């Protein structure tokens, strides 16, 4: 799985209340959630974000609530992959489970700026800038790669339970 896109950069501890405030948790509709994605951190983000764009966050990205609405909002906003220094654990699980690609690469986060364009290869675990700089990401354990390859947790469970 490879992606190419333009970067939106955020800081450390981007929490789920910033990603999608609880006042919008009266719906599970991805498009509606996307319309408010990140708005308490950057009110213009829902208007600025384009299909294929990449979010780069700092450490502890996605901390806070267990709301799956957060990765759903990011995915539905068109974001192709989230790169962060580290992810909060529930957000990490949720992203893999719903099929939002994520990568942990503190080196890439330190070097990348808003507006940069990068190529990301999820399987190889690499991030490459248009200038040719290359960064590596922490590899996923085989366990998680299986879920990612199945296209999320529900497909994985379906396979395991033999449901067509």
Partner 1 sequence: MGMTVTEKILAAHCGRKAVEPGEFIMAGVDLAMGNDITAPISIEEFGKLGVPVWDRERIALIPDHYQPAKDIRSANLLKQMRDFARKHKIKHWYEVGDAGVEHTLLPQKGMVIPGDLVIGADSHTCTYGGLGAFSTGVGSTDLAAVWATGEIWLKVPESMKFVYTGKPAPWVSAKDIILEVIGRIGVEGALYMAMEHTGEAVKHISVEGRLTVCNMAIEAGAKSGIFEADSVAQAYSRARSGREQSVHRSDPDAKYAKTVEVDTAKMEPVVACHPLPSNTKKVGELAGMRVDQVFIGSCTNGRIEDLRIAAYIMKGKHVHPDCRTVVIPATPEVFRQAMKEGLIDVFMDAGCSVQSSNCGPCLGGHMGVLADGEKCVSTSNRNFTGRMGSPKSEAYLASPSVAAATAVKGTVAHPREVAGEPPEVK
Binding site for partner 1 (CB under 8 A): 13, 15, 17-18, 21-23, 25-28, 40-41, 59-60, 63-69, 71-72, 86, 88-90, 93-94, 97-98, 141, 143, 152-154, 157-158, 160-161, 163
Burial of 58 from C-beta contacts in 10 A (0-12 / 13-18 / 19+):
middle
Overall size of the chain counted in residues: 164
Shortest distance, position 149 Cβ to partner 1, whole Å: 15
In 31-101, at which residue ranges do the beta strands (DSSP E only) sit? 54-57, 81-84
CA distance 121 to 103: 10
Nearer to partner 1, 8 or 93 (CB): 93
CB of 128 to partner 1, least distance (A): 27
Q: Shortest approach of partner 1 to residue 109 CB, angstroms?
A: 14
Nearer to partner 1, 52 or 110 (CB): 110
Q: How is 115-139 classified by DSSP, letter by letter?
A: T-EEEEETTTTEEEETTS-EEE-PP
Q: Which is nearer to partner 1, 111 or 150 (CB)?
A: 150
């Amino acid at each position: 799985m490879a992606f190419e896109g333009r970067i939106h950069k955020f800081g450390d501890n981007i929490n789920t209340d910033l990603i999608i405030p609880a006042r919008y948790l009266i719906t599970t509709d991805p498009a509606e959630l996307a319309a408010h994605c990140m708005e308490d951190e950057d009110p213009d983000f829902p208007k600025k974000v384009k299909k294929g764009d990449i979010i780069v966050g700092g450490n502890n990205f996605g901390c806070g609530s267990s709301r799956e609405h957060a990765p759903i909002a990011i995915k539905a906003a068109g974001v192709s992959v989230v790169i962060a220094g580290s992810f909060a654990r529930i957000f990490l699980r949720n992203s893999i489970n719903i099929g939002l690609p994520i990568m942990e690469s503190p080196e890439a986060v330190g070097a990348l700026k808003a507006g940069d364009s990068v190529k990301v290869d999820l399987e190889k675990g690499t991030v490459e800038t248009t200038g040719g700089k290359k960064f590596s990401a922490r590899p996923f354990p085989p366990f998680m790669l299986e879920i990612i390859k199945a296209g999320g947790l529900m497909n994985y469970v379906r396979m395991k339970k033999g449901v067509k």
